[in-house]
Every structure is written in structure tokens, then in C-alpha cells.
Amino acid sequence: MDKFLALSQTAMELGLVNSLTVLSLFLSYSMLNVCDLSTDGCFTLGAAVGALTAIAGSAWLSLPAAMLAGAVSGLITATLQTRMGVQSLLAGIVVNTGLYSVNMALTGNKATLSMNKVTTVFSMAKDLLRGTPLAGQSTLLVMLAAVALVVVFLCWFLKTRLGLAIRATGSNADMVRSSSINPTFTTTVGLCISNSFTALSGCLMAQQQKNFEINMGSGMVTVALASLLIGGVFFAKHRPIPLRAVGAVLGAFLFRLVYGLALRLDMPAFMLKLVSSVIVVIAISGPYLRRQMPQIIRRWQMIREGRGPRA
């Protein structure tokens, strides 16, 4: 039982960090209908900027600094796809590739940065809570606060006129235009906000692990997408937005929990990315194949009865 509790605490902590990226995709993928493939690089960018700011001496400033860097990255991705004729997927890939060099340049050509003796938001929270009953939970509390803030912000924002316009852009861009709103503008704002969450996620991850590593974001987009799609199982498309946002967080937690259990069952850690890929494929192509099933069954029957194309 203790083992399970320890496992779920780790899953909770990691799930919460990841859930910020999941919420970012909730905005870009579920709402704006843009698959933002710059997520990996942006996650690392947030981690790098956050780590450098913390090492420079300001743990608090690291959060807004990372978010600002993420927003700038989102602005570039959005500009490429809305004003410069680059296809949406390619815009993300191009920015993602470019960000690797940017991240390396930021860290001064170092693939890792250690924050062992550096004050981070987590060490600050630990000092703050020392001696109180919550002392052991400081990491979890910081994560929980960050995720709660982002969820509350999203629930509020997506009901504002700008939020509605962003949702409509993903649902029917023609209608946005005929409402005298420029879809270029809504796409840009949406991607800036979503990327700032991705960067915040990376920033917190690096500070929690007290370590920045240049490849820490690799595969993040698939892991987050898998979590988002798992979350979609709890609260489907037609449910209210607050529930769906909470579903996204639950999805991230559940993904980490299952992954943690699989590790206990001797699955090697390097399997994480394959598992997330498979989950994404199942979640997206499952409903498609289910729709195709009657056709496939009919074809089998016809072949069996000797009336099929190959008979």
C-alpha cells in the first residue's frame, strides 16, 4: 500500500507538471484545432530560460520569463502559418528544429545545467512550509497551485469574447471572418498563450528535477497528446469546458500512473515514448476503425460466401 501511495505521489507530481503541457494542447489542439509540433522545443526553451533565470538568482522571475519566451515562440509559429504561407504542421516542425539551436545558444553550448545549489521555486516553497504539517508536500503544492491557476484562467478566458473567437476559429473560421474578427489574430493569440503554458511546464520540470537537459522536451508533444486523449475519455467534446480542462489534468495523472505501474512491472523506462505513441494511435484511429468495422465485416462475409472481389 505504501508502495502504491509513493507511486501515486510521483505520478501526481509528474502528472501535474505534464498537465500544463496537456492544457496547452487543450487550447491549441482541442480548441484552436492546430496541431502545434513546436511543443517539444518550446518545453525545453521554457526549461532553459527558467533554469538560467533561477541560476542568475531570481526563482520567482523564472516563471514569467519562461512564459514570455514560450509566447514569443508561439508568436513565431503562428506568424509562419498565418502570414507567411507555411503549412500549420510544417511551421511547428520548423520552429521546433530551430529552437534546438536557440536552446543550446541560451545555455552557452551546454547540454545540461545543474541547479543543485540554486534557489528554485520548489526550494523556496520548502523553506516557506518548514515546520508546518504540509512540509512534506511542498513540491506537490507548488505544482497544484500552478495547474489550478492555469485551469481557472482557461475556464475564464474561453468564455470571454476573445476566447469564444479562438474556439470558433477551430470550429468554423469562415464564421469568425463573417463576425468581423480576423482568424489570423485569434490563431496568433491562441498559440502565444498555449506556448506560454508549455514553457511554464518545462520551467517547473527542470526546477523540480534540479537539472536542465537539452533533450528533456523530446517526445513531449506525443506524451501530452496521449494524456489529452485519455482525458477526453472522461469528458467528451460536448461537455462543459471546465470539466474538459479537469479531464485533461486527470488524463495526465492517469498516464503517469499507468506508466509508473508498468515500470514496476519491469518495463524499461525507455519504453515511455513508444507507449505514448501507441496510445495516441489507438485514441485517434480507434473511433475511425470502429466506423469502418461494418464495411470490413461485410467484405469478409462476402469473401466467405464466395461473392467477394477475390472469389
Partner 1 sequence: MLELRNICKTFNAGTPDEKKALSDLSLTIPAGDFVSIIGANGAGKSTLFNAICGSFPLDSGSVWLDGRNVTMMPEHRRAKQIGRLFQDPMRGSAPDMSIEENLALAAGKGGWLSRVSAADRKSFRERLSLLGMGLEDRMRQPVGLLSGGQRQALTLLMATFQAPDVLLLDEHTAALDPGTAEKVLELTRKIVSEHHITCLMITHNMQSALDLGNRTLMMDRGRVIYDVTGEERSRLTIEDLTERFRQLSGKALDNDRMLLGINRKK
87 touches partner 1 by CB under 8 A: no
**Which is nearer to partner 1, 46 or 183 (by Cβ)?**
183
Neighbours of 55 (CB within 10 A): 19
**Which is nearer to partner 1, 239 or 298 (by Cβ)?**
239
Here the contacts of 160-167 (C-beta below 8 Å, separation 24 or greater) are 162/186, 162/189, 166/27, 166/31, 166/32, 166/190, 167/31, 167/32
**Which is nearer to partner 1, 126 or 177 (by Cβ)?**
177
- When binding is defined by CB under 8 A, the residue of 83, 130, 159, 264 that contacts partner 1 is 159
Min dist. Cβ of residue 176 to partner 1 (A): 7
174 touches partner 1 by CB under 8 A: yes
178 touches partner 1 by CB under 8 A: yes
Segment near partner 1 (CB under 8 A), from 1-9, 69-77, 153-161, 244-252? 153-161
Three-point CA angle 230, 87, 82, nearest 5°: 100
Cell of 207: 526546477
- When binding is defined by CB under 8 A, the residue of 45, 47, 168, 226 that contacts partner 1 is 168
Min dist. Cβ of residue 240 to partner 1 (A): 9
CA distance 274 to 262: 13
**Which is nearer to partner 1, 2 or 174 (by Cβ)?**
174
165 touches partner 1 by CB under 8 A: yes
- The set of residues, in sequence order, having a beta carbon less than 8 Å from that of 58 and lying 6+ positions away, is none
Strand partners, 212: 113
**Which is nearer to partner 1, 86 or 162 (by Cβ)?**
162
Segment near partner 1 (CB under 8 A), from 61-69, 137-145, 177-185, 254-262? 177-185
* Contact (CB, 8 A) for 78 and 193: no
162 touches partner 1 by CB under 8 A: yes
* Contact (CB, 8 A) for 184 and 169: no
275 touches partner 1 by CB under 8 A: no
CA distance 103 to 125: 27
Residues making contact with partner 1 (CB under 8 A): 159-162, 164-165, 167-168, 170-172, 174-183, 237-238
